[in-house]
Amino acid sequence: MLFNDTILDHFRNPRNAGDLSDASATVEVTNPVCGDVLRLAVRVEAGRISVARFKTQGCVAAIASSSVLTEMLAGLTPADARGITAQKISEALGGLPPATLHAAQLGADAVAAILRKLSSGG
């Protein structure tokens, strides 16, 4: 499995890893088949996502997808964040190998879940 340098960089130096103490919303999503788990937390300030943090147990692609996702989320309004798809996460990483696209899907699922939570009042 050959990963590009962007993927490997996010895997080796994950951005925004950890917990968020004063999160507006926190979700945990799982890929039931391979067991990957992503916990995503965001803080919303003045209508925009100011910080996103993650913790992931999963393969290289899952960790890299989570990491890049937190960068993509920062600064977006929840409405903008709706546009984040698995394809967009993969593109932000310079293209995930097709066999690992399920990892980006986990990220997209987490976005959908956290937006639901935010709209229901956190």
Partner 1 sequence: MAVKLPIYMDNHATTRVDPRVVEAMLPYFTEKFGNAASRNHEFGWKAEEAVETARGHVARLIHASPREIVFTSGATESDNLALKGVAEAYRKRGNHIITQATEHKAVLDTLKRLEQSGCEVTCLPVSKDGLVDPDDLRRAITPRTILLSIMHANNEIGVVQPIAEIGRIAKEKDVLFHVDAAQSVGKIPVDAEKDGVDLLALSAHKLYGPKGVGALYVRRKNPRVELAAMIDGGGHERGMRSGTLNVPGIVGLGKACEICQQEMAEEGERLRALRDKLKDAILAGLDNTFINGSMTQRLPQNLNLSFAGVEGEALLMGINDVAVSSGSACTSATLEPSHVLRALGVSEDLAHSSVRFGLGRFNTAEEVEYVAARVIETVKRLRELSPLYEAAKPRPPR
Query: Which positions touch partner 1 (CB under 8 A)?
Result: 1, 3, 8, 11-12, 14, 17, 19, 23, 26-28, 31, 33-39, 41, 55-63, 97, 99-100, 102-103
Minimum Å distance from CB 40 to partner 1?
A: 9
Minimum Å distance from CB 83 to partner 1?
A: 25
What is the phi/psi pair of residue 29, to 5°?
-120, 150
Which burial class, exposed, middle or buried, applies to 93 when counting CB atoms under 10 A from its CB (0-12, 13-18, 19+)?
buried
Instruction: Considering the complex, state which of residue 40 and residue 81 has its C-beta at the smaller distance from partner 1.
Output: 40
Under a CB-based contact definition with an 8 Å cutoff, are residues 31 and 102 in contact?
yes
Which among 96, 108, 71 is positioned nearest to 8, based on CA atoms? 96
Minimum Å distance from CB 11 to partner 1?
A: 6
Instruction: Considering the complex, state which of residue 18 and residue 83 has its C-beta at the smaller distance from partner 1.
Output: 18
Using DSSP, how many helices (H) and how many strands (E) does the chain show? 5, 3
Minimum Å distance from CB 99 to partner 1?
A: 5
